[in-house]
């Protein structure tokens, strides 16, 4: 095998295994729940988030994609002053939509 091809393949595998999405300290305070858990909460908006579903033409792990979308949803909700998210769409091509709620009293 050509040395450069081997190095390129190793690089692709390394990159596809890494996560570039990090939970903010504000995002840590946002919880993911089901629709039945937010009946007493105020809906404040919607957040659609996305990540790359493929890297260099290779499909990424569905678990990794789901985890990164959750983190991005939490971060987006915190920026909207929300504290709770509910997924309202399935993951499709690296994209998911969450409803954002405020369930706790503001202090």
The tens digit of pLDDT for each residue in 23-62 reads: 999 999 999 999 999 999 999 999 999 999 988 888 899 9
Domains of the chain (ranges, CATH numbers): 3-102 (3.30.110)
Cβ 102 vs Cβ 41: under 8 Å? yes
C-beta atoms surrounding 37 within 10 Å: 14
Average pLDDT, the chain: 87
| From 14-18, 48-52, 68-72, the region with the lowest mean pLDDT | 14-18
Its pTM stands at: 0.80
């Amino acid at each position: 095998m050509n040395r450069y091809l081997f190095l390129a393949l190793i690089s692709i595998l390394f990159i596809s295994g890494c996560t570039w999405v990090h939970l903010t300290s504000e995002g840590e305070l946002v919880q993911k729940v089901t629709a039945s858990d937010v009946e007493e909460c105020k809906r404040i908006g919607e957040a659609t988030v996305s990540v790359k579903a493929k890297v260099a033409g290779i499909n990424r792990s569905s678990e990794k994609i789901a985890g990164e979308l959750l983190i991005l949803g939490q971060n987006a909700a915190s920026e909207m002053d929300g504290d709770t998210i509910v997924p309202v769409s399935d993951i499709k091509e690296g994209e998911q939509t969450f409803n954002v709620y405020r369930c706790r009293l503001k202090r």
